[in-house]
Chains A and B, each alone.
Chain A
């Protein structure tokens, strides 16, 4: 399943990662070598083997639906590139 430049551009778009054509051409080679290495997995017989997503097979713990955090909006917004009136600013989305 070798990738072409269009596949790399598609992944870059899905990841919202700007790539120019020169970058994409370079990544095609790298990614194909990585995927060729990864393709060795196809040699393993995994019929009837359940996927393992957590090494200790733990399941998500639940807690009571209660407020436990204090409001620290001002402090958190100090790390933001652009805020106004307690809101995060982004380019206009709706005209």
Chain B
């Protein structure tokens, strides 16, 4: 059962081949056996999961099952979940039990899904390897000496290892697409504002977006159907109708115009990754698509702009963690300043402190114009690059990451870690959607093909990814780790 996609599991539940309770129990026992090694979960919630599964089975028996009723999944530990510890991977929130549900959590529960627990992540979603978690790094199921990617590393590894068929993540600079690529699964970052951010612990509010990680594009479409839509509680969510994202999955790709940004195939790209991605793009040509080179001339400035904007927003968002209303508090503060300073020094990890310091510095008096304003101006140019490209082509394609998953502990210098996100970060600055799909392997580690579309082009991206998965079998490969322990 753990090998199946969400849509296959839905069929199995509908035909009575197994119940949600049986499925949930099976996956919980896999988590129990395997996750000690992987570390993909921070919190497992067997009791509430089994109760939710029973409710789903009862709803099905009463003829009230929807598309997702009884399907198990996991939630990145950044989504506030009522009555469940919600840590954001931080010591600061190690004992925080959320008093409310994020909109995404509420919608998935209303759709009848069964959450098995909360997945590991880089602290406050700041990281590209999941090594910045207070709860330790997540291992990559394809190679236990490699990182899972980040920041949604636990979500990606749990799906790849067959612990859950799907998981929710968030993506601020690549945090869904890059771990999906590293773990050989499919991950969708929707358009900014497509999915409510309410109850999603904020990192960089103008960039953060929630989305699904699953085995197939079809499964991502099923989940996007459940979570997309306007939410009065998130003023940045977009009031726009939600289509049925499964409706156009099978549309033919004849005539599709694909652009390859030349900046995404230049210096720094591992040549074996480049070859793998080019082979994937040839598949689209056999499906009737045409390919041409395009340019995104400000690509080089995306990482510098991001490392002004994201830390600036983070330094503001994280000021709420002050030891007063929730989260960690230092012992015996001598006065209020001491309470704040020691609470935050003890509660936050290295990378979070680094970004708070950068953000505070760049926003401080005398530096604002040179950094924050400048970065926002460059952000407009980066978005314009994409809008210009989408005048010429329907989608853009390239690698999700310049290399496959790197070794645990390999990148100790923060800047070299930041440069890993060169192909994903501009997408968040522009607010457009992107999807990573498995496209092959280099030395046993998965390679992701990234497909980008203009704002609200999720239907097209899912269609393109689905047709690719009809024509290839990379998404069907399973790591030996998952199979040996079946």
Contacts and interface: CB of A to CB of B under 8 A. Distances in A.
B361 A7 contact: yes
Contacts of A91: 333-336, 338-339
B341 interface: yes
Given A52-B376, A52-B383, A58-B238, A16 B344 contact: yes
A68 to B, nearest CB: 8
B413 A33 contact: yes
Contact of A44 (B298, B345, B358): B298
B357 A15 contact: yes
A38 B308 CA distance: 7
Contacts of B323: 81
A49 B377 contact: yes
Interface in B306-358: 307-308, 315, 319, 322-329, 333-342, 344-345, 348, 353-354, 356-358
A68 B374 CA distance: 39
A16 B324 contact: no
Contact of A34 (B329, B367, B415, B430): B415
Contacts of A30: 354, 414
A33 B336 CA distance: 33
A: interface residue count bin: 35 or more
A16 B322 contact: yes
B4 interface: no
B355 to A, nearest CB: 9
Contacts of B126: none
Interface in B267-319: 298, 300-301, 303-305, 307-308, 315, 319
Given A11-B361, A19-B345, A42-B374, A54 B383 contact: no
Interface in A1-32: 1, 3, 7-8, 10-12, 14-19, 27, 30-31
A38 B455 CA distance: 27
A34 B358 CA distance: 8
Interface in A30-50: 30-31, 33-35, 37-42, 44, 46, 49-50
A53 B312 CA distance: 12
B379 A11 contact: no
Contacts of A93: 335-336
Q: From DSSP, what is the main secondary structure of chain B's interface residues?
A: helix
A64 B356 CA distance: 35
B: interface residue count bin: 35 or more
Contacts of A79: 96-99, 325-327
A52 B378 CA distance: 8
Contact of A88 (B325, B364, B370): B325
Contacts of B99: 72, 75-76, 78-79
A90 interface: yes
Contacts of B329: 81-82
A51 interface: yes
B326 A80 contact: yes
A56 B345 CA distance: 36
A31 to B, nearest CB: 6
Contact of A31 (B191, B333, B357): B357
A38 B307 contact: yes
Contacts of B336: 90-91, 93
A12 B337 contact: no
Nearest to A92: B335
B232 interface: yes
A17 B304 contact: no
A55 interface: yes
Given A14-B360, A17-B353, A55-B429, A41 B415 contact: no
A11 B315 CA distance: 11
B354 A58 contact: no
Contact of A18 (B97, B307, B335, B342): B342
B304 A38 contact: yes
Interface string B370-393: 110111111111010000000000
A60 to B, nearest CB: 6
Given A19-B345, A46-B377, A58 B361 contact: no
A92 B333 CA distance: 10
B43 interface: no
A91 B330 CA distance: 12
A41 B304 contact: yes
B231 to A, nearest CB: 11
A57 B380 CA distance: 10
Nearest to B193: A56
B374 A41 contact: yes
A46 B301 CA distance: 12
A55 B383 contact: yes
Interface of A: 1, 3, 7-8, 10-12, 14-19, 27, 30-31, 33-35, 37-42, 44, 46, 49-56, 58, 60-61, 63, 72, 75-76, 78-82, 88, 90-93
21 contacts: A11-B361, A12-B357, A14-B364, A15-B319, A16-B319, A17-B341, A30-B354, A40-B304, A44-B374, A46-B378, A46-B381, A49-B380, A50-B377, A55-B431, A56-B431, A58-B236, A76-B99, A79-B97, A80-B326, A81-B327, A88-B324
The 3 closest A-B pairs by CB, nearest first: A55-B431, A51-B376, A18-B341
